[in-house]
Amino acid sequence: MAEPRDDLIRDPRELRALAHPFRWKLIDLLSSEGQRTATQCAQALGESVAGCSYHLNMLAKYGFVEEVPDVKGRQKPWRMLRHHQSWSTEDMDDETVLAAEAASDALIEQEFAALRERLRRKSLEPLEWQTATGIRGHLEFLTAAEAEEVQAAMFAVLEKFADRHHDPAARPEGARPVRIFQATTVAPRRD
């Protein structure tokens, strides 16, 4: 069995805060574009300012985002506090499992909507981006330990670029937000 990860979300209230697809849109926007006011979020996402403000406050209540401190003026920008959100249903009670499933459903709904939109627009990108992006599916026959090894290796590759979230100066010229959505699932047993 794998060691428990300290960064896993285990609080059902925090998971329920993530159980709304629009909140994932806000997380994606703040993660990729940086600090934004509720008004800027509304303009970018086609939602009302009041709606954005409500959802930002819900995310803030559970420590996912915060208003940027020491900013003068009425419009306060928001920023991400957690750039990675992950959870597992292992060793969780029923309430937490249900909250985790709801958060997963909302994340998947948002990821697939964004994936469809980006794939529709792929032909509008320069050729270098058209060839550098896409979707691929693999079916491999692995043990649970091997599946865990694959996930760890993919995470290690992506971790090399993690400093670019917090330090825009670390981003090379031409760097753009690239969303990588990973799902590792196992087929159900068949009798």
Q: Structural domain boundaries of the chain? A: 12-134
pTM here? 0.81
Rounded Cα–Cα distance for residues 115 and 130 (Å): 14
Q: Which residue has the tokens 């990675």?
A: 84
Structure tokens given for 17: 């805060």
Structure tokens given for 78: 């928001």
CATH no. of 12-134: 1.10.10.10
Per-residue pLDDT of the chain (191 residues; tens, 9 = 90+): 344 445 789 999 999 999 999 999 999 999 988 899 999 999 999 999 999 999 999 999 999 999 998 887 788 999 999 878 889 888 889 999 999 999 999 999 999 999 999 999 999 999 999 999 988 888 999 999 999 999 999 989 999 998 888 788 999 999 998 988 888 888 888 87
Rounded Cα–Cα distance for residues 86 and 97 (Å): 13
Complete DSSP assignment for 146-158: HHHHHHHHHHHHH
